[in-house]
Amino acid sequence: MTMRFFGDTALLTGRTMRHITRSLDTILTVAIMPIALMLLFVYVFGGAIRTGSHHYVNYLLPGILLITIGMGISYTSLRLLTDMQSGIFERFQSMPIARSSVLWAHVLTSVVSNLISLALVVLVALLMGFRSGAGASAWLAIAGILVVFTLALTWLAVIAGLTAKTPDGAGAFAYPIIFLPFISSAFVPTHTMPAPVRAFANNQPVTSIVNTIRDLFAQQPVHTEIWTALAWSLGILIVAYALAMATYHRRVA
Amino acid sequence: MTTQAIHVQGLEKSYKELRVLRGVDFGVARGSIFALLGSNGAGKTTVVRILSTLLKSDAGTATVDGFDVATQPADVRESISLTGQFAAVDEILTGRENLVLVARLRRVEGPGQVADDLLARFQLTDAAGRRVSTYSGGMRRRLDIAMSLIGNPPVIFLDEPTTGLDPQVRVEVWNGVKELAGQGTTVLLTTQHLDEAEHLADRIAILHQGRIIANGTLDELKRLLPPAKVEYVEKQPTLEDVFLAIIGNDDTGADDPTTAQTAKEQR
């Protein structure tokens, strides 16, 4: 059965990946908003923002990457909802396959498509003057953190995709996630914020993740914040996975 | 009991307060076509969803191909194929890719060959390389049914297979269903069209308010009514007769991509 699970997941991932490669506009749409934000903040607001870093784009990129993931996962719920509504989800569930592979295919596709969008955003950042002396191990660590964060948000997206009634609803759950980096250290240092806002910003998941990635890019020693970042990501991942599975088992007998 | 492909006893299902099935009993002989007839909301789809292991019943038992749907769902899924009310096809893949995907998932030998054979059989060869989103309603439904035949499952569920189809495609689907039963496949179909049940089914069961209120061959059901009076009535052609006669049966017309728009609207 395990072999069957991996085989079926591979087949179904191939299917959803075709959805991505055949509508490349999805990847572009996902990347365009973060890129536009990056342009706006670097070339319009950036001159007035004091971050202590010479290149504002270096300061900004980690937060932009998280916004990219927030944009990307709204399409994950949309793809899942489309499958639920078209009846193809039920067709797969009534076939002699490993049933959970249908969900895992969406999850893997979400991770891969998000990584492509992220690469696109990093490329534009490089063109805008982003530079990092980070070595291979630091880049790997950054990729690892982003993958865990993507997985965590993807399982949240699965809940939305399984429960939403309309495409608008399926996409809307991502708005708070996209907005979260604005109230964090992603755009400006948190010490400039009024106390209550600062308290929120310092203690929400995005700040610790942004700071960790920023330190890795800047070849600074990472603080204990990396553990806070991982704890948030893994915590969200585990809770979202459990809830998504419970939702899934309520939807299919 | 082993001679029956489907056996249902005392099936009950409620959605919160709404009691959809209140004790449904019926059996379907191997290789026969069984029609479950009922109006909208009678619970036909609920029965099909329970039999295809998509839904759990509250009470009662059901076996398909000798396997219990509650305790041996994986074996049931090996034996069945489901064609739901809405053509469950992947819009972004081509027709051929849809068939190959299902063939691979069912671990069928030579998935490409299986796909090509089915495309030819359902007159979809010309459209094989096009994305399904460009297909007309009739083409989608034919592809949908073709996908259900992969792996030759002994039992096939067709949930309102001709809803939204034009009369010609309807006749095509009917012929396909008869052909299947001729090869020994058991077909359970649900419909709200009386003529469909009349044309196709070896046995017809009427599901009403959560129970089977009649079950028999067409002749048996007719005998439930008082004997027919002999009246002389001028035989008028039905509109369907006229329609089929004047457009001719040589060209299916459904392959024309320009009909895709209207077919989509029907959906």
Instruction: State pTM to two decimals.
Output: 0.85
Average pLDDT value for chain A:
89
Dihedral sign, Cα of residue A125, residue A126, residue A129, residue A133: positive
Residue B2 predicted with pLDDT over 60: no
Chain A hits for B102, CB-CB cut-off 8 Å, are 95
DSSP at B227: P
Cβ contact (<8 Å) for B85 and A87?
Answer: yes
Of A95, A249, A252, which to mutate for an interface test with B (greatest number of B Cβ within 10 Å)? A95
Average pLDDT value for chain B:
85
Q: How far apart are CA B53 and CA A90, in angstroms?
A: 10
Chain A hits for B53, CB-CB cut-off 8 Å, are 93-94, 253
At residue A139, the pLDDT reads 93
User: What percentage of chain A carries pLDDT values higher than 70?
Assistant: 99
Chain B hits for A22, CB-CB cut-off 8 Å, are 92, 131
Chain A hits for B84, CB-CB cut-off 8 Å, are 87, 90-91
Of B90, B150, B156, B264, which to mutate for an interface test with A (greatest number of A Cβ within 10 Å)? B90
CB of A101 within 8 A of CB of A5?
A: yes
pLDDT digit string (tens) for B129-186?
A: 999 999 988 888 889 989 999 999 999 999 988 877 788 878 888 888 888 888 889 9
Amino acid at B84: G
Residue B247 predicted with pLDDT over 80: no
ipTM here: 0.85
Q: In what order do the strands lie in the sheet with B59-64?
A: B18-29, B4-15, B59-64, B67-68
Distances (CA, A) of A162 to A25, A245, A247, B87: 24, 10, 7, 20
Dihedral sign, Cα of residue A12, residue A16, residue A17, residue A19: positive
Mean pLDDT of B233-260: 65
Q: How far apart are CA B175 and CA B249, in angstroms?
A: 14
pLDDT band at A91 (very low <50, low <70, confident <90, very high): very high
Closest CB to B52: pick one of A11, A19, A94.
Answer: A94
Mean pLDDT of A111-137: 91
Dihedral sign, Cα of residue A190, residue A193, residue A194, residue A196: negative
* Tokens at A79, concatenated: 């793809």
pLDDT digit string (tens) for A44-73?
A: 887 777 777 778 888 899 999 999 999 999
C-alpha distance from B78 to closest chain A C-alpha (Å) = 5
Could you give the 3-state DSSP secondary structure of residue B213?
Answer: strand
User: What percentage of chain B carries pLDDT values higher than 90?
Assistant: 49
DSSP at B254: T
Interface check for A8 against chain B (CB to CB < 8 A): the answer is yes
User: Between β-strands B203-208 and B59-64, what pairing exists: parallel, antiparallel or unpaired?
Assistant: unpaired
**Which range scores top for mean pLDDT: A27-36, B64-73, B235-244?**
B64-73
C-alpha distance from B233 to closest chain A C-alpha (Å) = 46
* Tokens at A70, concatenated: 């927030």
At residue B249, the pLDDT reads 61
At residue A235, the pLDDT reads 94
Closest CB to A93: pick one of B54, B90, B147.
Answer: B54
Chain A hits for B81, CB-CB cut-off 8 Å, are 94-95
Residue spans of the domains in chain B: they are 4-266
Interface check for B86 against chain A (CB to CB < 8 A): the answer is yes
Residue A240 predicted with pLDDT over 70: yes
- Tell me which CATH code domain B4-266 carries: 3.40.50.300
Mean pLDDT of B257-267: 44
Q: Quickly tell me which residue has 């299986």 as its tokens.
A: B114
Q: How far apart are CA A201 and CA A205, in angstroms?
A: 9
Could you give the 3-state DSSP secondary structure of residue B6?
Answer: strand
Q: Quickly tell me which residue has 């865990």 as its tokens.
A: A148
Chain B hits for A11, CB-CB cut-off 8 Å, are 101, 104-105
Residue B267 predicted with pLDDT over 70: no
Q: How far apart are CA B200 and CA B220, in angstroms?
A: 15
Residue A78 predicted with pLDDT over 80: yes
pLDDT band at B71 (very low <50, low <70, confident <90, very high): very high
Residue spans of the domains in chain A: they are 2-251
- Among candidates B223, B186, B51, B94, which has minimal Cα distance to A22? B94
C-alpha distance from A240 to closest chain B C-alpha (Å) = 24
DSSP string, B146-193: HHHHTT--SEEEEESTTTT--HHHHHHHHHHHHHHHHTT-EEEEEES-
Chain A hits for B86, CB-CB cut-off 8 Å, are 86-87
DSSP at B61: E
pLDDT digit string (tens) for A157-211?
A: 999 999 988 888 888 888 888 888 888 888 888 888 899 999 898 888 999 999 9
User: What percentage of chain B carries pLDDT values higher than 70?
Assistant: 91
pLDDT band at A220 (very low <50, low <70, confident <90, very high): confident
Interface check for A219 against chain B (CB to CB < 8 A): the answer is no
Maximum pairwise Cα distance, chain B: 59
Distances (CA, A) of B260 to A118, B98, B134, B169, B250: 38, 18, 6, 14, 20
DSSP at B245: H
Angle at A6 between CA A5 and CA A8, to 5 degrees: 65
Could you give the 3-state DSSP secondary structure of residue B3?
Answer: coil
Closest CB to B53: pick one of A12, A88, A94.
Answer: A94
C-alpha distance from A100 to closest chain B C-alpha (Å) = 13
What are phi and psi for residue B251, nearest 5 degrees? -110, 125
Residue B259 predicted with pLDDT over 50: no
Q: How far apart are CA B44 and CA B8, in angstroms?
A: 13
* Tokens at A213, concatenated: 């990635």
